[in-house]
Structure 1
């Protein structure tokens, strides 16, 4: 029997293994990490008949001994596409592909919506899924939202009665890079700012990867309000543009925009008011316009879109209001894993605010984030691996209010509440501006821990 190697035991690796196992394929998963959680997953998968090898290095020797059996090698998004060992495998004519390629091979009979961008793509994915599903359109979401694309494919393939109308996939640069054959019916590009440069090295390479997905899309939807997308318009393929600020010109046509009365306008016709949704912040208005343009292309009428917007509960960990502490609003924005995402969240809430930030610091330009802290934060609590370097960054920017460093999120929550009460802040926000991997397996686990820690202090609970 031919053999498939899967590298990485995260959500994507498990999804790929279960899909291939359901198809009767022989699978081995390699995982370099050794911790309690990994061993628990190993036991779970081995009960399903999936072989898991822990502690295996990503080295050419590991694969050579299975050379005659290997059919293909599937990598998780966390594995660098141009890793030296993967390049050696390609030179030896092994087939190497990303986990999302498996889903594409099995689901390309269904129209795809591919959503990419530096920030906002998760909100767009959740919101579009909600609007379509609430109008009777079967459109499961997967990919970078924490649901493996291959898991969506497995559920579809294992249930003959599970007919789908659309597939919605949030796609990170890692996933696009490893699955370049994906050609969505609709491609959405939310924005672009420096991120993941520790892996992609340059903004130009990062932009090129994102653009690759959009170029392969049949219908393309762009955010005119994003400076990078707008300034690179001449290099972009033709598409639909949306804006919260401009109605466009003959040369730069904006199809969906917001007029001075707050009405969303489509091709010159007012369709509904922008306040229909409870999502706060200008960035979320941009997300709403992207989703509205997409839903209109799919065939929904304005009334159906408006009703979906009214009932959308929001996205967990993305500017999620948890409740209040003596009138101070509390927000979980654990999904803000870079400076630009954190800046957007801080600008959307009431000020003065207390900001809890920290974790595994990424490369990127912090200037806009620092400016927003200066304008809106009355105090900052820093935690985790990046706390002290962030402290130096903030202090060197001229920030004059209180900044405290501590080791853990638990300490940060305690100190943040005390600071918020002392300074009569209007909001407390977990807005890390960093990845979570120094102390958590992902931003979801970090956000869940924040909810757990802050819960006992809440005097008014929000919708969680």
Structure 2
């Protein structure tokens, strides 16, 4: 009897992995821990495609299947005891992104990781390559699931580049993935509940860069720069004068005299990118360094940067109403990302923050609140804790507690007019899972509330 390949997780990544394996001739079992009416309908449709689907199944149900291999969706914990035991017995266990990597061997990959910034860099780099005429699809943690693209390649597509945003979850379950170019944007504590310690989290990120042929690294991030001895041939970028990285490393790119500058000389004006904030200059330099490695010339890159529209839910302007600009930064799911958004904008502003708290350094975030916010509205699970913390650390800032965005949006407008603030910023500093399925749904709800308020007044 042919042993099946098991796929855990009935989300987009798991389904696309199962379809790819089925197209490759495998007998596939899809296992899902939840059981809902929507999942029942989805399972029925997948069975019509020839896949075996079983709901209400944990990894413990793998034993009776005796699978020849197990493929994990990104949300499945790599260190689950059953999966650890299977690996010890020699059963291949790996992530959906690793399956895509093994399938798309003919195309060079650019892998982008980092605590913050990776979505913007991935989207920006995909835009640069595509605007220059390259077939460079974006996949992974943003864009299509990696195995969706791999299925297209199985059917004959041959992209020039694969631009993959890679989370720590995807990297740890992709032990052989070795991109042509590996970008590491930032490193701050995140996902410690999953990885156990900051050292383990950092080691996962570093592993991707170590396996990359050409590392492209942020020399302005002290935690990444501290590891510079690990990558003697890396391309480093800095928003400071390139000499700031001396004598340890030459900067592949820097900003000098308002120009993006390579060792050979100036390339183009640093103002070609319209997105606000120093962090976006870092993102621009990392994407530019990778684009140069991929064969684009400075003129193509500058043209692509001028036309880059930005990323939804990341410092995205959604409306301007009665002199107040509303900005959706729902993707700021941790303290550092929210602090970065605060640094990018002018004071005074009204901040909307809340959701499900992650581990991290709240003091860094509170410093940003103190510097930029005239008022803060705290909501969701974090509402009480945030209110107490803001009131203690920022006594000059008006702080109010409300249940959710439905109440917070109209109140934020009144506070902005009262406090002379020209910006209302949704930058939650939290995960969305207390009230929303993901940060996208949170951002879309914010957009809808703002637009409805503007139409009603």
Tell whether the 8 Å contact from 1:173 to 1:206 is kept in structure 2 after alignment: yes
The reply to whether residue 217 of structure 1 matches residue 212 of structure 2 is yes
SS in 1 for 2:242: coil
CA deviations over 1:263-301 (Å, ceiling 9, x no partner): 111114111111111111000000000111111111111
Q: 1:131 maps to which residue?
A: 128
Is it true that 1:179 corresponds to 2:179 in the alignment?
no
Determine the structure 2 residue equivalent to 1:66.
65
Tell me, in whole angstroms, the C-alpha distance in 2 between the residues paired with 1:48 and 1:415: 50
The residue matched to 2:65 in structure 1 has which SS? coil
Q: 2: CA distance between counterparts of 1:334 and 1:48?
A: 36
CA drift of 1:40 comes to 4.6
Gap change, CA 1:102 and 1:323, over 3 Å in 2: same
Q: Partner of 1:99 in structure 2? A: 96
SS in 1 for 2:326: strand
Counterparts of residues 28-427 of structure 1 (less than 5 Å): 28-59=29-60, 62-67=61-66, 70-158=67-155, 160=156, 162-248=157-243, 249-259=246-256, 261-427=257-423
- Alignment root-mean-square deviation, CA: 1.7
Count matched residues. Answer: 452
Change (3 A) 1:201 1:48: same
Structure 1 residue matching 2:59: 3-state secondary structure: coil
Farther off after superposition, 228-237 or 447-456: 228-237
Partner of 1:52: helix, strand, or coil? strand
- Per mean C-alpha deviation after superposition, the further-off stretch among 442-451 and 101-110 is 442-451
Q: Which structure 1 residue ranges, 4+ long, deviate > 4 Å from structure 2?
A: none
Q: What's the offset of the Cα at 1:24?
A: 3.7
1:402-439 Cα deviation digits (max 9, x unpaired) = 22222222222232222222222111111011111222
Deviations 1:327-386 (A, max 9, x none): 111111111111001100111122211111111110011121100100101111122222
How far apart, in 1, do the equivalents of 2:99 and 2:332 lie?
Answer: 29
Deviations 1:187-225 (A, max 9, x none): 111110111111112211111111101011111111111
CA distance in 2, matches of 1:430, 1:87: 40
Decide whether aligned partners of structure 1 residues 41 and 424 sit closer, same or farther in structure 2, where only a CA change above 3 A counts: farther
> Is the Cα contact below 8 Å between 2:4 and 2:26 reproduced in 1?
yes
Unaligned ranges ≥5, structure 2: none
Further displaced range: 235-244 or 376-385: 235-244
CA distance in 1, matches of 2:437, 2:39: 11
Distance 1:341 1:370 in 2: 12
More moved, 342-351 vs 244-253: 244-253
Farther-moved stretch of structure 1 (300-309 vs 243-252): 243-252
Cα distance in 1, alignment partners of residues 189 and 272 from structure 2: 32
Judge conservation of contact 2:215–2:231 (CA < 8 Å) in 1: no
Which ranges in structure 1 are unaligned for 5 or more consecutive residues? 460-464
| Cα gap change, 1:317 to 1:63, in 2 (>3 Å) | same
Which of 422, 425, 428 is the equivalent residue of 1:429? Answer: 425
The whole-number CA distance in structure 1 between the counterparts of 2:229 and 2:174 is 26
Residues 420 and 35 (structure 1), Cα distance of their counterparts in 2 relative to 1, 3 Å cut: farther
Secondary structure at 1:272's aligned position in 2?
Answer: strand
- Indicate the SS of the match to 1:255: strand
Equivalent residue number for residue 462 of structure 1: none
SS in 2 for 1:318: coil
The two structures have a TM-score, normalised by structure 1, of 0.93
